[in-house]
Amino acid sequence: MKSPFSIHRGWIILWVGFVTLLIAYSIRIGAYSVLLPEMIRDLRLTKVEAGMIKSAFGISYLLFSPLMGWLTDIIGGRKVISFFCLFLGGGTFLMGEAESFITSAIFYFIVGIGASATWVPITTLVQRWFGEKKRGFALGILSPSYGIGFGLMGIILPMIVSRYNWRIGWQLLGGFGLGLIFLNGILLRDNPKIMGISPWGENREEKESPSFSQKISYGEILKNDRFWIIGISYFMISFGIYTIVDFIVTYGTLELKIPYNISSLFITIIAFSGVAGGFILTTISDYIGRKKSLILIQFSVTIGILLILMARSHLSLLITGTLLFGFLYGAIWPMYATCVRDYFPENIAGTILGLFTIFYGIGVMLSPVLTGYLADLTGTFRWSFGLSGLSALLSAFTISFLRYNNCKLEDLV
């Protein structure tokens, strides 16, 4: 007899994914953004070099994400996530040992390999464990994980830096990253169907819908217009978003001369406002659709960036722009993940999401180098932030060309 207090396995998968992404984003966004000003001072880095360290992460993330998506479809997310958390935690610990630009870039490249095995496999697994009409809801619950993760870093890491130094911050996070190996290995499961369990929230009509087993080649995927529209939009929004996320603390500290302990809170504001935005906006998207939601969000991101630019050192307006930016930021990544299941068959979801992450990775790789160079060239981040706003606007324009509402196998073959 089933216990009335039993928990559906999907919620355990969601919880493990939540913790994993919380730690992963504490490392990949929180630690980098908050510790960067101290690293620039201590290692005597230029803004271009600081951007190239993040680009090293972007290169490995770009190269390995398609592999992680493919491996998730072939051998399962449990093995993929557990094994590659060794790179996530180990590389992060080594960041605390970096003595130069070169070693920092190498170690962050290793972090990127591990990070590529978190978002794609986790969102793929979570969507398998929840019914079609509950995917936006599930990813809305998952999305606060990364906001809380790097948001807490804006509070915790400055205290660690003031008491110890920036190196200890990296090393502590490295230890947590290594702990994810055991958490995921013990608790994750790959597919509810193999366990004889229906996805949580699945209704009868969904249960009776056919599951596609026909194999689809990369060539067939690349010929599909939806793939390119979503991918190009993904690239543009990632470029625009990470210009702000990577440099807003540095902008506040070095350009606006706002004290470091206050500037570091900008990343916390983005993160915690994103917690609310991620849940609210992704849940709404279940009803009004991903396309409309993304257009509205990306257009509004541009407005948030303009407010940040207009504020200069006017703290209240700067906080308002940062709050709006963060609220919208929290919904963007889970929205693109749900697009995969909305517009493509289930059996290639991991592969598709991995391929989309190439576009994301290019944006992450190019953004800090180009905008960091522009900041060095002009002596201000204002032109860089303006470029990020334009990129967000172009992302909204691109996604407006997206057609179809339901995935059909015949659309790809």
**Any idea where the domains of the chain sit in the sequence?**
9-193+217-411
**pLDDT value at position 202?**
66
pLDDT in tens, 26-60: 998 778 888 888 888 888 888 888 888 888 998 89
pLDDT band per the 50, 70, 90 thresholds, residue 233: very high
Query: Are 291 and 234 spatial neighbours (Cβ–Cβ below 8 Å)?
Result: no
Both structure tokens of 282: 């992704």
**Phi, psi (5° rounding) for residue 412?**
-105, -15
Cα separation, 166 vs 56, whole angstroms: 20
Rg (CA), the chain: 20
Contacts with 260 (C-beta within 8 Å, 6 or more apart), sequence order? 37, 158, 249, 253
Q: How confident is residue 217, by pLDDT bands cut at 50, 70 and 90?
A: low
The answer, yes or no, to whether residue 356 has pLDDT greater than 90, is: no
Distances (CA, A) of 327 to 64, 198, 279: 29, 33, 10
Angle between helices 101-115 and 32-43 (to 10 degrees): 160
| 370/136 Cα distance (integer angstroms) | 33
- Least Cα distance to 132 among 288, 289, 338 occurs for 338
Q: What is the mean pLDDT of the chain?
A: 84
Q: State pLDDT tens for residues 293-335.
A: 899 999 999 999 999 999 888 889 999 999 999 999 888 888 8
CA distance 96 to 112: 16
Distance CA 330, CA 83 (A): 27
List the CATH code of the domain at 9-193+217-411.
Answer: 1.20.1250.20
Return the closest-CA partner of residue 264 out of 173, 375, 162.
Answer: 162
Task: Report CA torsion sign: 65, 241, 105, 232.
Answer: positive
Return the closest-CA partner of residue 113 out of 89, 145, 147: 89
Instruction: Note the pLDDT tens digit of each residue in 243-275.
Output: 998 889 889 888 899 988 888 889 889 888 888
Q: How far apart are CA 264 and CA 249, in angstroms?
A: 5
What mean pLDDT is predicted for residues 134-148? 77
For the entire predicted model, the pTM comes to 0.72
What are the φ/ψ torsions at residue 378 (nearest 5 degrees)? -95, -15
How much is the pLDDT for 69?
81
- Give the CA distances from residue 402 to residues 148, 247, 411, in Å, rounded to whole numbers and listed in that order: 31, 31, 14
Question: Dihedral, CA atoms, 191, 197, 199, 205, nearest 10 degrees?
Answer: 120
What pLDDT is stored for residue 364 in this prediction? 80
Residue with tokens 């003595």: 99
Q: Sorting pLDDT into bands at 50, 70 and 90, what band is 209? A: very low
